Amino acid sequence: MDLLAGLNEPQREAVLHVSGPLLIFAGAGSGKTRTLTHRVANLILHHRVPAGRILAVTFTNKAAREMRERLNQLVGAEANRIWMGTFHAMCAQMLRIHGHLIGLDPRFVIFDTDDSTRLMKEILRDADIDSDRYPAPRMLARISDAKNNLQSPDDLQSVAGSPYHRVVARVFKMYQERLKAAHALDFDDLLGEAVRLVTESEWAREHWSERFLHVMIDEFQDVNQAQLAWAKALASKHRNICVVGDDDQSIYKWRGADVKIILDFEKQYSDAHIIRLEQNYRSTQNILDAAHGVISNNFGRKAKRLWTQTQGGERIVLNGAANAQEEAAWVVRQIELLQREQHLKLSDFAILCRVNAQSRPFEEAFMRARVPLKLVGTQRFYDRKEIKDLVSYLKVLYNPNDNIALGRIINVPARGIGATTIEKLGMIARESGLSLRDVILNCGQEVLGRAINMKLEPLRRILITLQTDAENARSVVELLDKVLDRTNYYEFLRGDRTGNGNDRVANVEEFMSAASVFDSRMQDEDFGFSDESRDPESPMEGPPYLGLFLESSALESGTESGATGEDATVLMTLHSAKGLEFPIVFMPGMEQGLLPHSRALWGEQSGPDELEEERRLCYVGLTRAQQRIYLSYATQRTLHGRTESTQPSQFIDELPPQLIDRSGFARVGASSVSSYATTWESSGSSSSSRSAFAPAAAPRSSEPPRYRVGERLKHPTFGEGVVVNASPSGGAGEWVEVAFLSQDAGKKKLAVAFAPLEKVE
């Protein structure tokens, strides 16, 4: 197979590079994945490197999956033997195998952010620390920073120069102690402990660094010190470390990413070979020039410039709107126009926002226009309460020391065990050194008192029965079924008075089917890289792979559900757009305070570095576009319930002026529209803000309709919605069709005479 076919010169150079450190600057749309996969294929096919001795690390599961899939096409099933996955998954893997060398329980559980927050709150409460001055999330952020920099509580303690920092250090210490007691690692610990493994255990370092003939790191601009240390240790023996990234796309500083790491790679490895991939296969030259105009204002970036063979292209359309509603209406109109002109699918359009809060006006405008819009990356599957509950039951069964998981389900479904009781149980547990579970199961009336003891009885029965169930279950689904059954979980959900009962049942069902997919994968496949992970020495109770299931539910955010398959325009944040591409990109909210964000502009922690990161965010957005970019700003915006005047983004001024198309301004209000004009709506519109939806002089009965298309209203069960259609008013048969904001309520036709509808301003 010719692995070089269709590759450009620097790409070929990268593919052919075999030994020694290699740094690839891969610009947006420069064919990075192609280059990487071909390089790995070359190692395997032409240099006889056993796949099992290659480590390829990514930040996301998605990236890892994509890469594995493409490698499968190149080298076949052999690709499954490559150690490929996220930093966290790879670290977890190693720790399951050798964690015992540094004193870890091989059955450790992984705490996600929610678990960590619960634990932190518990600590603050127990230690009587004022959670207003020391909020749990901020404590966790400081701790995360420390861990990303491989600092221990003692390290923090010794450099603490203020009472605040001393509290942080103290809290950090307690946090680690409790994690340890729960046999748990948080996300950052996975990395930190993996680093500790290869530094403290000479044997482990020898083993793993010998094993990996090649180490590849993707998105290297986003690595932190812990990740760097880990990668360096693993590559220490053979020194075949290949890192790929783009400093211009580093947008995760707030998560510990340190751009300097990629910029200083040459200092770490003085013999590093450097390759720049600057030919772009995604965008028009105009788009690249516009993006370059912006990014070139950053200092200390690696000099480079994307170019493409597709010369010219459309100019960047710029629009100024009166407010966010007008802005959204403008976007819908452009999409409708473009879609008619070109033959584009709705999914060819993406709306990229700085913050999630920008999405509301778009949801409304799209609903009015009846153009499907899909919000991407808003709520993650495993973050849902009902899913967390079920996972917590499994966690408790798997690891009896996981007090946080037990704490979550101790009163779910409600069984009369309240905060006071839980507090008391926790006290006893800590004082006696027992796990919460042992206190509940093994302490009697003498210790707990009569009332509590009695209230605990049903929970005890459930836990004990489930323990037996876990030992007998042959699959995760089977065990989950038992959990649902023993806890009466469905009944509990149906009793949900907030009206989300049905959604939640649906979520549980979706979770069950995910579990069943996992089951079948485990049962008939030799799952990838983990030949060592199945340790016959440590028999597990319940499904042998329950631990793996828990791990994947902690490490896979769960590509959000609701994949309806319907063609829809997507809306997402700039952050989640990284790595994606779209023919047409809209970037609304090009304002001072939004992009660049106020926190970077005039907040406490504002500064040149923060502004540069905002600029990179802008750059990431611009370079997502293949054909056209539409930028817009609103001159007034309501944020946090306060309407304020805004200034256009400074980044607009950084665009080469000749590449900006301002004709959009002229069109505002003038463009006649549109498919959402219905019976009594005219297509004319003035410049007033409600103009596009105002009633017209068109056919209209003597009485004006009570509900007009475009109007917002509220229904006690379905929530808020927008009128998308209505019958002529008057008479018993009058109806309105309402698109409700809640995804699941959807569209409903309601009889005006009967439905308890309320207008909303």
Residues 163-222 that bind DNA (CB under 7 A): 187, 219, 222
592 binds DNA (CB under 7 A): no
Integer Cα distance of 468 and 142 in angstroms: 41
Among 36, 244, 316, 572, binds DNA (CB under 7 A): 572
* AA identity, residue 221: Q
Integer Cα distance of 267 and 233 in angstroms: 16
Q: Are 679 and 654 in contact (CB under 8 A)?
A: no
Q: Are 736 and 754 in contact (CB under 8 A)?
A: no
Burial group, residue 243, by CB count within 10 angstroms (0-12, 13-18, 19+):
buried
420 binds DNA (CB under 7 A): yes
Q: Are 53 and 214 in contact (CB under 8 A)?
A: yes
Report the residue number, 226 or 480, with the smaller CB distance to DNA: 226
Minimum distance between the CB of residue 576 and DNA, rounded to whole angstroms?
Answer: 5
Burial group, residue 360, by CB count within 10 angstroms (0-12, 13-18, 19+):
middle
Integer Cα distance of 406 and 426 in angstroms: 11
Report the residue number, 389 or 613, with the smaller CB distance to DNA: 613
Report the residue number, 297 or 638, with the smaller CB distance to DNA: 638
Residues 718-747 that bind DNA (CB under 7 A): 720
Residue 326: which residues within 8 A CB-CB, separation 6 or more? 634, 668, 689
* AA identity, residue 386: E
Minimum distance between the CB of residue 664 and DNA, rounded to whole angstroms?
Answer: 26
Q: Which stretch binds DNA (CB under 7 A): 18-26, 326-334, 592-600, 618-626?
A: 592-600
Give the count of residues interacting with DNA (CB under 7 A). Answer: 54
Minimum distance between the CB of residue 255 and DNA, rounded to whole angstroms?
Answer: 4
377 binds DNA (CB under 7 A): yes
Among 278, 556, 609, 654, binds DNA (CB under 7 A): 556
Report the residue number, 193 or 661, with the smaller CB distance to DNA: 193
Among 417, 459, 470, 571, binds DNA (CB under 7 A): 417
Q: Are 377 and 579 in contact (CB under 8 A)?
A: no
Vertex 614 angle, CA 609 and 620, to 5° = 125
Integer Cα distance of 701 and 720 in angstroms: 27
| CA Rg value for the chain | 29
Burial group, residue 202, by CB count within 10 angstroms (0-12, 13-18, 19+):
exposed
Integer Cα distance of 424 and 417 in angstroms: 11
Among 32, 68, 81, 88, binds DNA (CB under 7 A): 88
Residues 288-307 that bind DNA (CB under 7 A): none
Query: In this structure, what are the phi and psi dihedrals at residue 675, rounded to the nearest 5 degrees?
Result: -70, -10
Report the residue number, 211 or 253, with the smaller CB distance to DNA: 253
Extract the tokens encoding 173: 């210490």
SS3 702: coil
Report the residue number, 303 or 419, with the smaller CB distance to DNA: 419
Residues 115-134 that bind DNA (CB under 7 A): 131
599 binds DNA (CB under 7 A): yes
Report the residue number, 19 or 643, with the smaller CB distance to DNA: 643
Among 35, 37, 61, 507, binds DNA (CB under 7 A): 61
Beta bridge partners of 243: 23, 217
The catalytic site residues sit at 32-33, 218-219, 249, 624
Extract the tokens encoding 607: 């500064």
Report the residue number, 243 or 251, with the smaller CB distance to DNA: 251
113 binds DNA (CB under 7 A): yes
| Helical segments of 623-749, H only | 650-653, 663-667
Minimum distance between the CB of residue 389 and DNA, rounded to whole angstroms?
Answer: 15
Beta bridge partners of 275: 24
Minimum distance between the CB of residue 421 and DNA, rounded to whole angstroms?
Answer: 4
Q: What is the 3-state secondary structure (H, E, C) of 64-120?
A: HHHHHHHHHHHHHHHHHHCEEEEHHHHHHHHHHHHHHHHCCCCCCEEECHHHHHHHH
93 binds DNA (CB under 7 A): no
86 binds DNA (CB under 7 A): yes
356 binds DNA (CB under 7 A): yes
Among 53, 62, 173, 238, binds DNA (CB under 7 A): 62
Minimum distance between the CB of residue 7 and DNA, rounded to whole angstroms?
Answer: 25
Among 50, 76, 418, 746, binds DNA (CB under 7 A): 418
Q: At what angle do helices 87-98 and 225-234 cross, to 10 degrees?
A: 60
Among 600, 655, 692, 739, binds DNA (CB under 7 A): 600
Vertex 308 angle, CA 306 and 314, to 5° = 100
Among 74, 357, 668, 696, binds DNA (CB under 7 A): 357
Q: Which stretch binds DNA (CB under 7 A): 28-36, 348-356, 461-469, 682-690?
A: 348-356
b/e code 268-292 from CB counts within 10 Å (16+ = b)? ebeebbebbbbbbebbbbbbbbbbb
Report the residue number, 338 or 357, with the smaller CB distance to DNA: 357
Report the residue number, 47 or 460, with the smaller CB distance to DNA: 460
* AA identity, residue 88: H
Among 421, 475, 685, 729, binds DNA (CB under 7 A): 421
Q: Which stretch binds DNA (CB under 7 A): 237-245, 569-577, 700-708, 745-753?
A: 569-577
Residues 631-660 that bind DNA (CB under 7 A): 638, 640-642
- Residues that bind DNA in the complex, under the rule CB under 7 A: 59-62, 86, 88-89, 113, 131, 135, 187, 219, 222, 251-252, 254-255, 257, 354-357, 360, 377, 380, 411, 414-421, 555-557, 572-573, 575-576, 578, 597, 599-600, 605, 610, 613-614, 638, 640-642, 720
